[in-house]
């Protein structure tokens, strides 16, 4: 507990002040920004396991964090099921998603989601991409995902749906290049969540706990919204003003669920 509280401010604020690195040589290996704080790596490993525990990630999906020493780099596991990720699996990428330290390791095909969102959103320091199942119907239906209760109040800001056909016509639906990553980042705009039609969703935050919180409660909201709709009457959603009024409470209390999730996830390691 004490250790967590000691570290909490830097984890939660996770403000990256470092300047952008010079561009990587085209097609070359970018220079490493150096080793990241082991506590941040531990949080990234925990985030992988928490999201697996919570049913947001399964064998697929990934979570990244911007490098605290260089805002032009991010950290993401090698291609591996999230539940199995350890500190030694974390790789470093530039924002074009070239690896700084590949060492023969295979990489996630969809890592461009992360690099292009970090480019477009200087306020974002953590990104989750998942196929969390309850959310998927809202990406293919005309029924919009809306906040059902206070825990998912952040959805009041609106939930865009990324239509990959508009960006590139017929594809295999994977965000497998920078152009598709940029199109997704454009759909996301300044929001915390975007749905990806026929695929999954992406959540972003100022630090790992926020991106994880948004991913978990987007999934929970989707389940609850479906239940509310199935009751058959009209659904009285959280009003945008109520969402706005509640949001500061998420920032004020996020350390509590984060500490619980992390403890449980790392205990099983």
Q: Which are the catalytic amino acids?
A: 110
- What gap in Å lies between CA 4 and CA 12, rounded to an integer? 11
Structure tokens at 189: 């705009």
- What gap in Å lies between CA 146 and CA 238, rounded to an integer? 8
Say if CB 11 and CB 208 are below 8 A apart.
yes
């Amino acid at each position: 507990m004490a250790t967590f509280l000691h570290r909490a401010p830097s984890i939660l604020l996770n403000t990256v002040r470092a300047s952008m690195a010079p561009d990587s040589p085209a097609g070359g290996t970018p220079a490493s920004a150096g080793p990241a704080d082991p506590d941040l790596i531990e949080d990234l490993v925990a985030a992988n396991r928490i999201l697996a525990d919570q049913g947001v990630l399964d064998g697929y999906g990934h979570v990244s964090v911007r490098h605290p020493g260089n805002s032009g780099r991010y950290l993401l596991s090698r291609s591996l099921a999230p539940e199995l990720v350890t500190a030694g699996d974390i790789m470093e990428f530039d924002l074009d998603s070239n690896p700084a330290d590949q060492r023969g390791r295979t990489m996630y095909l969809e890592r461009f989601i992360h690099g292009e969102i970090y480019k477009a959103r200087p306020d974002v320091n953590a990104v989750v991409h998942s196929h969390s199942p309850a959310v998927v119907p809202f990406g293919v239906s005309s029924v919009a995902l809306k906040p059902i209760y206070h825990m998912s109040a952040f959805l009041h800001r609106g939930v865009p749906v990324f239509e990959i056909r508009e960006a590139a016509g017929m594809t295999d639906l994977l965000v497998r290049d920078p152009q598709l990553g940029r199109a997704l980042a454009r759909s996301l705009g300044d929001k915390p969540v975007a749905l990806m039609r026929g695929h999954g969703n992406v959540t972003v935050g100022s630090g790992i706990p926020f991106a994880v919180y948004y991913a978990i409660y987007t999934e929970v909201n989707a389940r609850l919204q479906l239940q509310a709709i199935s009751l058959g009457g009209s659904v009285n959603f959280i009003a945008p003003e109520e969402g706005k009024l509640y949001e500061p409470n998420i920032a004020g209390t996020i350390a509590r669920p984060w500490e619980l999730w992390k403890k449980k996830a790392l205990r099983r390691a």
